[in-house]
Structure 1
């Protein structure tokens, strides 16, 4: 019986909708009936995998009528519209069927005579997840060269992406908010809309039959990791100096250092900490650890023999893309800052996207190696201010014609600065890079990165993904121990130790626990945390006299 329902939904979802409507015409909330039916049919991951996401592009272009597709996407903007929910022949009009038939209720569809034919639905513009790594998306989307007809509604308009007009019925959209990553399942058609220039264009349009929430759409990582996969019982995690988890963590740090940082394992460990951080609390504010890697060399000069301009990207970008579900690179230059839009902005009642309109959990790599002499115009100054605000407060202002409103973000920032600091980003922690090899290894092409074996790479991703989603408990005993250790440190330290030092170190200790997949902060982890932070301070004192514990004074 279930397999028959599944086959019908996959082969002819429009007929399934009409059948449901004839049986439930008097239902007070027919959209809820639709959601319940299709969500039940596609209840398991195995079932939903049969709705192939790549059909989204192929079916739209090939002329296949009203296929069922799924689309994992970021919500970019929202709105509402009136639609014809029932045709005069008592046939279902929603889910694009009225538009398909070409029926119109009246020249004035809002007139009282036709009120019972009408209802409201939510419209969303959704884009393929910005910066999503190819391994995480599991689709061929990243190989496409196309950009959508509404490319200005994508955070990076010139990059390949899919943009879709999503329509949701009933109360389905009430829980969704901007930048949520959602898996939509629905009927795909081509339908006209008016673009920002008031021109009618056809765009892919998805009439949703159900969706999976942001939590359900997350990649399935475990915390703590299943140690049996690594060949050891789970209780081995309690011994931080032995066992495969400690070894796996060390291997991950060593690989990041070798492939992306010229062998600098200290910086690699700090990058690990930054990548697994996230917003823990808004009040009191426990925000992601932001990191500047200082003394990061500029790329080597390129012979001017190529007919096209060659832009070298830092190797660490390619390394992190192999490990993280989503990463974006902001290659700052005077022209990039003057010509780009970092904040979403409403233009003619259309919300255009910005580089920082990104889903929670995205790692943002900021580099300033392309910055040269020049003048920042008003747009550039506003972009820099938005970037600094996002790093400092984890909020981003959306610009409207007569006002702006802050929206909460949860982004992890790693800055690559040629000097001791970057004039464009102010972070929590500064760590100088000390590569053991030449500059060229810091700017290798993605194809030159030596990948670990597939199984090892999966374990690396599981360690990072699980750590980012995990939670750490701090017992009363450990809390008292840390406070006593802090008091002893203040008494014996040759330089001033403030409460900010304790707050930073406590945040780092939580991240250290997560990196070991330990649900509890222990004395061993606290000792490892202190050692890592003390080594950073020594590096700062050795490479740049006149610095405090975070960075240059």
Structure 2
């Protein structure tokens, strides 16, 4: 495996010859080979050095690398000549850049082929424990990467960055920052994709494995000097590899849950662990309830709604209705509550982010992604987030003043995402709607300015001034072992499917008739909310079918919530 990591292009060249110099067959054979090699063996996949963990300077030209990332933009297809003549021999430019092998300029008698180009960024809002977990999982990568780095360093002569490269970096940096929705995780790469059958899309989180391009210094300088003959768009999308690594993908896999404690396939690799966690779900539910109740100063009812929010997701879309969404407005809570919950979420969830909604932030931050037609790329915004990212929005930070036009648009966009789980990207002449799945906990003193699916009023048993003591107590209580189990519990319950059998369907219908008779103002929307609560009550207990006990529990929760918010 180490030889394959070090010299993957040898395999490409072998397939090129065995496929009689046919570019399409070469691509197909190469992708099939690496899929069998990497998709069937998680151990082999983890041996490939990861750009998430290793600086690109420690990677050698033409070696295999991995990158766990989000597809931030998908550029137009690019066309290139797949074959060249070098020393009178026919060679291929597939899975590499021409400068990599110092190809000549004599094209072979073949038609151009196309490939896709993606701009991929480190997963936004990914919490620190997730990255640490992947690093531990890939403990062999560091040693292999170090070996390759030593070999590369021995072969190359260190040269200081030339002025042309330094200028390119400084000119490009402000534009690069606009490609990231958040102010952290500024790592990205350009991915060249040769498969035309991929079903991946914008904002998907993927693990891409590919062949890295790192140009020699002289070739890089020559490219930079000649780039003035190209357009700004070309310069932006083909930056120096010292600034943005370039990866020619041989294997891509969509990551659905991103929890390093569960592997890539919950159903396949961890079926036993999954069954055990569902069997033990009541135990971990009680543990999580205890922690959340402490964080909410003794309010067990509110803590249960926060727990249900933690395991929520959009599990299906019926026409335009996203089923399963569980945005929660936590009322009577101050900024300290928001910070404590954000800190707790960062320890339990894969992805989370605190948004302090000050007037300055709303007026000065870009929420909505937009199309930059000069560079033909998507300029990111705060709401360009991967599915499963939990936002904690703190309305307490909103001070007196007037929202600008940008602030009003941001507020509307956030409200639209909370209510419909869609984000309307601004393409100048029109808006394009993208589905998303971003659960939002909206913290406010009174009723939130943005309508959420559920609102619950905090009734603390302990005084608010004890929050620092509560924070310290929770920190001490959360041992590494407990955190490990809670992280598994949350992901497994969130990803599990839930059914409503025929008997329970009749029970729900009968109860709805009875509730309508007792309260004529009850609507179908109220029933929908009740079913959503019942779904997550059952899943939180490890039940894949709704039971009568969980249904009655959900009815009690909703009755108490509605009474307290009246």
Common fold by TM > 0.5: yes
- Corresponding residue of 1:3: none
Tell me how far 1:16 sits from its aligned partner.
2.6
Choose which of 256, 259, 270 in structure 1 pairs with 2:292. 256
Q: How does 1:398-547 map to 2 (within 5 A)?
A: 398-419=425-446, 421-423=447-449, 425-435=450-460, 436-439=462-465, 441=467, 449-493=475-519, 496-540=521-565, 547=566
**CA contact under 8 A between 1:342 and 1:386: conserved in structure 2?**
yes
- Residues 527, 516 of structure 1: CA spacing in aligned structure 2 closer, same or farther, 3 A cutoff? same
Task: List runs of 5+ in structure 1 lacking aligned partners.
Answer: 1-5, 107-112, 142-146, 238-243, 300-311, 541-546, 548-553
Matched, 1:280 2:304: no
The alpha carbon displacement at 1:18 in A equals 2.0
Name the SS of the counterpart of 1:116 in structure 2.
Answer: coil
Question: Once superposed, what is the RMSD of the aligned Cα atoms?
Answer: 3.2
Q: Do 1:291 and 1:414's aligned partners in 2 also have CA atoms closer than 8 Å?
A: yes
The corresponding residue for 2:41 is 44
Q: Which runs of 5+ in 2 are unaligned?
A: 137-172, 216-223
Q: TM-score, normalised by structure 1?
A: 0.82
Partner of 2:245: 204
Q: Which has the higher mean CA deviation after the structures are superposed, 398-407 or 482-491?
A: 482-491
For the 8 Å contact 1:29–1:170, the answer to whether it is kept is no
Equivalent residue number for residue 19 of structure 1: 14
Matching residue of 2:68? 72
TM-score (norm 2): 0.80
Partner of 2:103: 103
Q: Secondary structure at the match of 1:182?
A: strand
Change in 2 beyond 3 A, CA 1:226/1:10: closer
SS of the equivalent of 2:402 reads coil
Describe the SS at the equivalent of 1:282: strand
**Structure 1 residue 170: Cα displacement:** 3.3
SS at match of 1:369: helix
- Which structure shows the higher helix fraction? 2
From 333, 343, 349, the equivalent of 1:296 is 333
Alpha-carbon distance between aligned partners in 2 of 1:313 and 1:510, rounded to the nearest angstrom = 26
Deviation at 1:229, TM superposition (A): 6.5
Q: For structure 1, which segment, 382-391 or 430-439, has the greater mean C-alpha deviation from structure 2 after superposition?
A: 430-439
Residues 516, 447 of structure 1: alpha-carbon distance in 2 compared, 3 angstrom cutoff: closer
Matched-pair contact (CA < 8 Å) for 2:282–2:540: no
1:214-258: CA deviation from partner (whole Å, max 9, x where unpaired): 44967647589999869xx97995xxxxxx432321111111232
Asked whether the equivalents of residues 338 and 443 of structure 2 are also in contact (C-alpha less than 8 Å), the reply is no
Query: Following the alignment from structure 2 to structure 1, what is the Cα–Cα distance between the partners of residues 269 and 478?
Result: 19
Q: What is the alpha-carbon distance in structure 2 between the residues aligned to residue 56 and residue 251 of structure 1?
A: 33
Provide, for residues 247-301 of structure 1, a one-character-per-residue CA deviation record: whole Å limited to 9, x for no partner. 321111111232x3233322221111112222233225224011000111234xx
1:445 and 1:151 mapped to 2: Cα distance?
34
**Which of 113, 127, 130 is 1:133 aligned to?**
127
Q: Distance in 1 between matches of 2:49 and 2:535?
A: 39
How far apart, in 1, do the equivalents of 2:512 and 2:259 lie? 38
Structure 1 Cα separation of the partners of residues 214 and 277 of structure 2? 54
Runs of 4+ in structure 1 displaced over 6 angstroms?
191-197, 223-230, 233-236, 442-448
Give the whole-Å Cα distance in 1 for the aligned partners of 2:458 and 2:270. 34
2:361: which partner in 1? 336
Residues 259 and 350 of structure 2 are in contact (CA less than 8 Å); yes or no, is this contact kept in structure 1?
no
